[in-house]
Structure 1
């Protein structure tokens, strides 16, 4: 699988839609996914809005639990890469980042995410 670097400066405003959740690798056993270094992999749902267009939601996997993320908060994503995948008739794009951090001074709006 080839990784494709993503220029986050072209993605517009990134906001946390759903705070970090541990990624499950086996739904039957509840086993939590680990990276090759043994860190638990977390997923964060992120809203992306470019140039006043409609909002898209992507899930980004990140090693270790990102701290301080709240729903609706503006975030910074470091080292974002995309991976195209195909399994049988199913296909899609998955995202992974080195880190996801809150942007200080960007309190979440009252009443939830934008």
Structure 2
């Protein structure tokens, strides 16, 4: 748990049953690795994203449960990485919805104030 596996060659590794919560998998070679169910590494986004055991989502340096991500206030998201995080947050929820299943979203995401703030 909490291992820094940045750039590690895990090709063919059996990671089933491993507690990958808080693990930094950015740049790790996971080809043919036997990962726990509902574990994904998503590349090509503004932040490195990994989902572990369908329960924990890491976006950049932030690692929280799916439930926590779905309930954050605008202030809490802004404190993570400012306007960049606020703009990315709906995309992160889209990714969580795609891999884990559709879930609730905070009401503030549909406010005019939020829309004005991220389009400035």
Higher relative contact order (CA 8 A, sep 6+): 1
Q: TM-score range by the shorter chain?
A: under 0.3
Q: Given the two structures, how large is their TM-score scaled by the length of structure 1?
A: 0.22
Question: What is the TM-score with the length of structure 2 in the denominator?
Answer: 0.21
Q: Which one has the bigger helix percentage?
A: 2
Higher strand share: 1
